[in-house]
């Protein structure tokens, strides 16, 4: 092979590699984000997507109606990130399913609330009232821990409160009739039960969020997070998402008095940043 031929082949190889790299980069610039119904799709569209667009990304939002499929879709690479869950749920789900998923960064979160068409305060709740709450293990435990914090029940003291179920209730002074259901169904039960303990996202999507008779102070391990595949934590798109969430533009939208996000509880890192 002559030097001229060798240089020609090398040039072709360089061009092919450049095209391949450019195509791969372009593909990575289209991100599919999984969310649950309610405010988190709006949060991503309004507070994160515009800044990612400035970095050259196009964003596709894919909505899921349950708490299972978004993580399965993330693990099988059908989506690139999701925003719907807190780290306690992610940790248990990933462990149970053997998935390599990680929390990237926490975001402002709409907390669990107590809702009722019958009562206007917790003090009014009468003996024998019926109550619905989430049936998935981590959100069931969260709801029970919340009910304990407002004095409606007591859980076995030796039980890890993050793993409690209705079987761990040792005191129920008002003899509440507790009915665990799929989280998305809970707001719709208000016509048939006395009390509903509903997640913030479903409360917002159903229009009942402002009517809560009480709302939790969210423990930091129940603040929602953006999740990604563990293997992608060093990927550029993941770094860019994190940078956008940590930006001043994001903080300004979260504090905008015209938006519902202003009522969300801020994670500790954002509280410290905006002091």
Place of tokens 């809702």: 115
Last residue of a domain, one of 199, 217, 235: 217
Residues 92 and 228 placed together within one structural domain of the fold? yes
Residues 102 and 228 placed together within one structural domain of the fold? yes
> What's the whole-model pTM score?
0.77
Look up the CATH number of the domain holding residue 27.
Answer: 3.40.190.10
Is residue 7's pLDDT more than 90?
A: no
Q: Is 174 exposed, middle or buried (0-12, 13-18, 19+ CB in 10 A)?
A: middle
Q: What is the pLDDT of residue 9?
A: 52
Q: What is the pLDDT of residue 74?
A: 99
Q: Around Cβ 159, how many Cβ atoms within 10 Å? A: 16
Residues 242 and 206 placed together within one structural domain of the fold? no
Q: Which residues lie closer than 8 Å to 99 by C-beta, 6 or more apart?
A: 71, 72, 75, 93
Q: Phi/psi zone of residue 119: left (φ > 0), alpha (ψ -120 to 50 degrees), beta?
A: beta
Residues 147 and 202 placed together within one structural domain of the fold? yes
Q: 120 pLDDT band (50/70/90 cuts)?
A: very high
Residues 9 and 100 placed together within one structural domain of the fold? yes
Q: Provide, rounded to the nearest whole percent, the portion of the chain with pLDDT above 70.
A: 90
When comparing pLDDT for 215 and 161, which is higher? 215
Within its chain, how far is the Cα of 136 from the centroid? 14
Round to the nearest angstrom and report the end-to-end CA distance of the chain. Answer: 68
Residues 124 and 194 placed together within one structural domain of the fold? yes
Q: 8 pLDDT band (50/70/90 cuts)?
A: low
Measure the CA–CA gap between 188 and 176, rounded to whole angstroms: 19
Residues 130 and 80 placed together within one structural domain of the fold? no
As for how many domains the chain has, the answer is: 2
Is residue 268's pLDDT more than 80?
A: yes
Residues 8 and 88 placed together within one structural domain of the fold? yes
Three-class HEC string of 236-268: HHHHHHHHHHCCHHHHHHHCCCCCHHHHCECCH
Q: What is the pLDDT of residue 13?
A: 44
**Residue 164 in contact with residue 155, Cβ under 8 Å?**
yes
Residues 17 and 58 placed together within one structural domain of the fold? yes
Q: Which residues lie closer than 8 Å to 242 by C-beta, 6 or more apart?
A: 104, 105
Residues 156 and 193 placed together within one structural domain of the fold? yes
Q: 1 pLDDT band (50/70/90 cuts)?
A: low
Q: Of 84-88, 159-163, 176-180, 248-252, which range is least confident?
A: 159-163
Residues 85 and 142 placed together within one structural domain of the fold? no
Residues 229 and 103 placed together within one structural domain of the fold? yes
Q: Which residues lie closer than 8 Å to 204 by C-beta, 6 or more apart?
A: 38, 39, 110, 260
Instruction: Note down the domain range covering 96.
Output: 3-109+223-273
Last residue of a domain, one of 189, 217, 245: 217
Query: Quick one: which H or E segment has residue 121?
Result: none
């Amino acid at each position: 092979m002559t030097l001229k031929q060798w240089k020609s082949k090398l040039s072709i190889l360089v061009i092919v590699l450049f095209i391949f790299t450019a195509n791969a980069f372009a593909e990575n610039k289209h991100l599919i984000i999984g969310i649950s119904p309610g405010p988190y799709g709006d949060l991503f569209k309004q507070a994160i997507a515009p800044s990612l667009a400035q970095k050259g990304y196009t964003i596709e939002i894919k909505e899921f109606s349950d708490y299972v499929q978004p993580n399965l879709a993330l693990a099988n690479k059908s989506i690139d990130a999701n925003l719907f869950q807190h780290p306690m749920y992610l940790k248990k789900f990933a462990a149970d399913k053997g998935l390599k998923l990680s929390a990237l960064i926490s975001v402002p979160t709409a907390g669990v609330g107590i809702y009722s068409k019958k009562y206007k305060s917790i003090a009014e709740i009468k003996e024998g009232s019926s109550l619905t709450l989430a049936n998935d293990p981590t959100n069931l435990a969260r709801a029970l821990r919340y009910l304990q914090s407002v004095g409606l029940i007591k859980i076995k003291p030796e039980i890890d409160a993050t793993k409690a179920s209705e079987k761990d209730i040792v005191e129920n002074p008002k003899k509440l009739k507790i009915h665990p259901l799929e989280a998305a169904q809970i707001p719709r039960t208000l016509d048939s039960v006395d009390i509903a303990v509903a997640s913030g996202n479903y409360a917002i999507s159903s229009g009942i969020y402002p009517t809560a008779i009480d709302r939790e102070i969210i423990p930091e391990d129940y603040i929602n997070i953006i999740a990604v595949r563990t293997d992608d934590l060093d990927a550029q798109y993941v770094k860019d998402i994190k940078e956008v969430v940590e930006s001043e533009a994001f903080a300004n939208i979260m504090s905008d008095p015209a938006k519902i996000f202003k009522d969300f509880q801020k994670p500790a890192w954002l509280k410290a940043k905006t002091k």
